[in-house]
Amino acid sequence: MVTALTGATAGTATAATTVEYVALGDSAAAGPLVLPPDLSSPGCLRSLADYPHVAAKKLGVPLKDVTCSGATTADMTSPQQTQTGAVPPQLDALSASTRIVSLTIGGNDVGLVGAATSCINLLPGINPDCVDRYTAGGHDQLAEKIAAFEPTWGALLDAVHTRAPNAEVYVAGYGTYLPRNGCWPIAPLTPRDANYIQGSIDKTNAALARQAAAHNAHYVDVRTHSIGHDVCKLPGVKWFESVIPTSIAAPLHPNADGMRAIGAQVASAIGAAVSG
């Protein structure tokens, strides 16, 4: 499969070349508000500088980017409704000519962003930590949701292989958004809540990695690669924005620096598979 990229990786792809690389995923891949915007699907808030575009440029291969903010795994096989109308199921972009697929999905399915925003605490010490609510009765709601959802990621990867039987599939995980104990008030979460939210992201990544290994896909460990580039760092160092962004990017999402770094990591993972 990977030998199909020979020649294209040297930047020799032309407009007439069959689409080599299809990018699937949610806002962590689409890069909402990162400039410049992709106006072909304005409701998806997709950037022309998202990590798939960065990776494709580094590899010198043509890209079909159908990532879309707000996407869930259901939107892989059904039309997704956006503020400017419906967009086709993302898996419709795949075919036997697809040689590379990248995928970041599942955060919306398990409710990571919703949990993070619900834990915003402007009066710590007065308002209770939200971790107590999420773990009441000895049940970790997010952990249980992630565990229950895990087989769906495997089924999705099988569907990707069915639609793109000649492709190598790369599952890019979610990043290190928060350091140990967070950084209130820059990220307005209490230390316990910051650890709980990042811990839930880590559980999601672990599930993605397991399913990638079990379903013939490569896992790209963005979480480890992004340590030291969390929302608490200064502009130019951080790859992710907090509740109030300091660059043109959506809150709680990768910024342009993050997209460049993740794109380079994905391109490196693809290149390693090609050379191997």
Helices (H), strands (E): how many in the chain?
10, 7
Q: DSSP code of 41?
A: S
Distance CA 107, CA 154 (A): 15
Distance CA 2, CA 12 (A): 16
Three-state SS string across 223-261, please?
HHHCCCCCCCCCCCCCCECCCCCCCCCCCCCECHHHHHH
Are 31 and 84 in contact, with CB atoms under 8 Å apart? no
Tokens of 210: 């397991």
Tokens of 90: 């993302």
Are 132 and 121 in contact, with CB atoms under 8 Å apart? no
Are 98 and 91 in contact, with CB atoms under 8 Å apart? no
- Strands 21-25 and 100-104 turn out to be parallel
Please give the positions annotated as active site. Answer: 27, 253
Distance CA 264, CA 237 (A): 16
Distance CA 230, CA 180 (A): 10
Phi-psi category of residue 240: left, alpha or beta, with phi > 0 → left and psi -120 to 50 → alpha: beta
CA angle 119, 121, 122 (to 5 degrees): 155
Are 204 and 107 in contact, with CB atoms under 8 Å apart? yes
